Amino acid sequence: MHLSLGCLSKPILHGYFRSSCSWRVRIAFALKGIEYDQAPVNLIKDGGLQRTQQYKALNPMQQVPALEIDGITLCQSLAVIQYIDETRPGPLLLPADPKKRAQVRMISDLIASGIQPLQSLYVIQKIGAEKVQWAQHFIDRGFQALEAILKQTAGKYCVGDEISMADICLVPQVYNAERFKVDVEQYPTIKRLNQTLTEIEAFKLSHPSCQPDTPPDLRA
């Protein structure tokens, strides 16, 4: 089978160590056992390197991540994860069963669209002094809904007993919740799932504390 040079080269992930969306892609790569290169994009330095024209050419929304893979550039973490799942071997990140697959997408979208963007760095910078209370409000609001859904769908993991894209979205969001001092004890299903997942090697390897651009004072 003929493969283009773009397909033979390592994917390049343009991301930021503490970005939830970048972390999701790192988890997916780790679960699939895919080697890739990282090109850090500091979201704070000099007003944010994502605002440069060079980076804007990769991601017009000036967000992370952007992934160069197979001769194309993809943005939006869920689209990236689904592409990886459809083109690479390894454990399925979306179940074969259509009902479970829909549940995985529902949970992933709830987090990726309904919680994370409302406490992203860009939004928090706009809020100013009330940023912690703002983040806590929207995380709690989202977690109340997420807890109710997970009580119905969860087994060992978010949907049944196989790791999926839903789990990939959950762990970075719990990390953010803890950063903003949200009381995760209120959400026993979320807490249980997060504790189980954070013991898995792929989640450890992809953690913000051990990335190439992690500041020395935040390294594990």
Residue 78 token pair: 């869920």
What CA–CA distance (Å, rounded) separates 190 from 153?
12
Confidence (pTM): 0.94
Domains of the chain by residue range: 5-91, 98-203
pLDDT in tens, the chain (220 residues): 344 445 568 999 999 999 999 999 999 999 999 999 999 999 999 889 999 999 999 999 999 999 999 999 999 999 999 999 999 999 999 999 999 999 999 999 999 999 999 989 899 989 989 999 999 999 999 999 999 999 999 999 999 999 999 999 999 999 999 999 999 999 999 999 999 999 999 999 999 999 999 999 999 8
Q: What are phi and psi for residue 13, nearest 5 degrees?
A: -100, 115
CATH number of 5-91: 3.40.30.10
Two structure tokens written together for 176 = 């953010």
**Neighbour count for residue 76 (Cβ, 10 Å):** 16
- The class that CATH gives domain 98-203 is mainly alpha
